Chains A and B, each alone.
Chain A
Amino acid sequence: GESVGLHLPTLSVQEGDNSIINCAYSNSASDYFIWYKQESGKGPQFIIDIRSNMDKRQGQRVTVLLNKTVKHLSLQIAATQPGDSAVYFCAENQSGGYNKLIFGAGTRLAVHP
C-alpha cells in the first residue's frame, strides 16, 4: 500500500521528459538483475531484466544499463507518462534461484503534467 513508499527518494519529472532511475547493487558476484514497478496499492510488476554478460538491454520505452565495474544499474524511461508514476526498485540475484533475490528499497517516480 501507500505506506511502503514512505522515506523513499523521489524523482520528479515533467510528462514527456526522459527519466533515469539508479540502483547500486551489493554483490559483484550477482549475475542477474531485474527492475520492478510498483503502483500504489498493487504488487510489484516485472519491467525488464538483464544478465551480467550484457551492458544494455532495451524494451518498450525502457532501457536498462549495467555497469559492473561500479556495481551500478540504471533504468531509463523514454517520454515519461503519468501512468509511469510508481515506485521502481531493482533486484539482484546473487547465486541463482529466486530464493536469493535481494531487493532494493526503491525510488518513487512522480510525473507532473
Chain B
Amino acid sequence: NAGVTQTPKFQVLKTGQSMTLQCAQDMNHNSMYWYRQDPGMGLRLIYYSASEGTTDKGEVPNGYNVSRLNKREFSLRLESAAPSQTSVYFCASIEAADEKLFFGSGTQLSVL
C-alpha cells in the first residue's frame, strides 16, 4: 500500500548540475503534480499532468521540466541547478472523483 513514492529523499547538487526527481503512484490516479515547499511559504505548484500524455506549467515552472512517462510515473528534471532551487519537493496525485490529493514524502534538495 505504497501510495505516492518519491526518490531520492535527499540530494545535494552543485550549481549547474542536473538531476531528475522520480515520482510513482500505485493508485491508478489520472492527475499528478509537482510542488516545492520553502520555509515560511505555502506549497507552490511547479508543473502538473492532468492525464497521461499531458503536462502544463504551474505557478513556478522556470528552471524545471517534467515528463509523464506513463500513468504511474511523473518525473521532474532540473537541467542546470541553481541555489534558488534549494527546497523540499513534493509529488502528489489525485483521482478527480475523490478530490483528495495524496502526497509523497518529499525530496529535500540542496544546491550549493
Contacts and interface: CB of A to CB of B under 8 A. Distances in A.
A and B co-occur in one complex: yes
Interface of A: 1, 3-8, 32, 34, 41-46, 49, 89, 91, 97-99, 101-106
A99 B48 contact: yes
Given A91-B43, A99-B56, 4 more contacts: A1-B88, A1-B108, A103-B42, A105-B41
B33 A98 contact: yes
A40 B102 CA distance: 17
Interface residues of B, number: 29
Contacts of B45: 99, 101
Given A42-B106, A98-B101, A6 B43 contact: no
B81 interface: no
17 contacts: A1-B108, A4-B88, A6-B39, A6-B40, A32-B99, A43-B90, A43-B92, A43-B103, A43-B105, A44-B101, A89-B42, A97-B50, A98-B33, A98-B48, A98-B101, A99-B45, A103-B42
A41 B6 CA distance: 13
A104 B42 contact: yes
Per CB-CB distance, the 9 closest pairs between chain A and chain B, nearest first, are A43-B103, A103-B42, A7-B40, A103-B43, A6-B39, A46-B100, A1-B108, A44-B103, A4-B37
A4 B42 contact: no
A54 to B, nearest CB: 14
B94 to A, nearest CB: 6
A99 B40 contact: no
A103 B45 CA distance: 10
A106 B42 contact: yes
Residue of B43, B99, B103 with most chain A CB atoms under a 10 A cut-off: B43
Interface in B39-64: 39-45, 48, 50, 56, 58
